[in-house]
Amino acid sequence: MSAISCELLSKRYAIGQRERYRALRDVIAETVSNPFRRKRKPESIWALKDVSFDVSQGEPVGIIGRNGAGKSTLLKILSRITKPTEGQVLIRGRVGSLLEVGTGFHPELTGRENIFLNGAIIGMRKAEIVRKFDEIVAFAEVEKFLDTPVKRYSSGMYVRLAFAVAAHLETEILVIDEVLAVGDVAFQRKCLGKIDALSHSGRTVLFVSHNMQAVRSLCKEAIWLEQGQLKAFGPSAKVIEKYLDAAGRNEKSGDLDARLQAMPADSSFRMNYVSLEQDGVTASTVLSGKPLDLVLGYSIFKDTPGFHICVSILDIEGSLLIETIHNGHAEEPPLVKAGDYVSRVSFPAEFFASHAYEVGILPSIASVRNCWPRPLTIPFAVEASGKVNQAYPGYATPAKLAPLLDWKTERLSKPIESAAATVTNASR
């Protein structure tokens, strides 16, 4: 049985400036002075267009996509905050939502009062709220400030209480937007554990996040939205891989150059160019059966002890797979002389599995600072090729890395007795 059914769901917004306030006399005066002037039709944009899908009862579903893809608009329609322009949505059960920090909270009311207010809004009786009250307070960890107006809460306290209320009040469907990033790391883990428990208890959960690892681990299925349209809906691992693969294919050299130029300047170092190459050609989709090269061109402005470039490979979930340093063979922090350099690292053929990945590049000076506040990242996708693919066509390993290691196999001249036969012979 479907908990949520969307059929050709569309939402259009008018964009542009708001009209200034005008009195009736202004309207009459404008009409008399220029009666034939046509009113300019406001420009509009489709935030969602012809989106159709069904979510089964008790299923955790992730919603992914780039910023502006229509994810939040979809959740607002499902939460009945806004109405669709076209299409229809059928929802079976009460909906609890957490779309942004403090949604549904009255700033002048205390935390205690807002808990009861939220429960009443979703149709719960006072007795039900009282029964869950202690669990909510304990989870939110705001007991000391329970009788303080929430307008005095920090953003972290706000989101803790808001999530605790949404997760513990008894709704059949829970809708969560990317608000958990406001909380600290420990509370994020606590929230993800609660979402996992809710999904196993039969609650339908819709979870919007840019954290692919969280979506993949929590959600059996995922919805991928792109420019307001449904690109894919199915098993989360496959949908996430398609999404990241598309992101890698859309990464153009010009985009990479622009991001490289946007990195902050450093007094000791400048990255001149970055290139991910196969067969000497820049590529964002590569073959697993051929080596892959990362080429870095950079300048060192002055003699710098301990300068190094750290290169990491991450999977589609953002998990770190491997890490290498460009001068990692040195037994002590080397002194890098001023000058222009080109560094190249080669990943061997038959090393990567057929998945989507990301290269992270971070130049640093040991025990001093990182030259950039964050790594420069390059997404890329790997397509199966090479010896293993030829011998076993169609085989797709779930492993993150699949190196072709050196195996040595020999055929024995005498057969090996089984363990059972050995025990039997010993007992005679």
The residue segments making up the domain with residue 285 are 253-388
3-state SS, 400-421, equals CECCCCCCCCCCCCCCCCCHHH
206 lies in the same domain as 95:
yes
Q: Which of 248, 273, 292 is the last residue of a domain?
A: 248
Tell me, yes or no, whether 406 lies in a domain: no
- Token pair belonging to 377: 């990242």
- Token pair belonging to 285: 């989709």
292 lies in the same domain as 237:
no
CA distance linking residue 131 with residue 100, whole number of Å: 26
Which amino acid belongs to residue 393? P
Tell me, yes or no, whether 143 lies in a domain: yes
Confidence of residue 226 (pLDDT cuts 50, 70, 90): very high
- 348-361: average pLDDT: 90
Domain at 270, CATH number: 2.70.50.60
Instruction: Report the phi/psi class of residue 334: left, alpha or beta, with left for phi > 0 and alpha for psi in -120 to 50.
Output: beta
- 192-201: average pLDDT: 81
Q: Which of 248, 263, 294 is the last residue of a domain?
A: 248
Q: Between helices 126-140 and 155-168, what is the axis angle to 10°?
A: 140
173 lies in the same domain as 191:
yes
pLDDT tens for 169-185 read 777 888 887 665 555 66
User: What pLDDT shows up at residue 19?
Assistant: 47
pTM to 2 decimal places: 0.58
- Percent of the chain predicted with pLDDT > 70: 84
CA distance linking residue 402 with residue 231, whole number of Å: 29
- Token pair belonging to 406: 């050196």
**45: closest CA among 71, 6, 12, 89?**
12
- 109-129: average pLDDT: 84
pLDDT tens for 49-90 read 999 999 988 888 999 988 788 998 998 898 888 899 999 999
244: pLDDT strictly greater than 90: no
Instruction: Name which residue leads in pLDDT, 207 or 252.
Output: 207
Tell me, yes or no, whether 293 lies in a domain: yes
pLDDT tens for 285-338 read 888 889 999 999 999 999 999 999 999 999 877 789 999 999 988 888 889 999
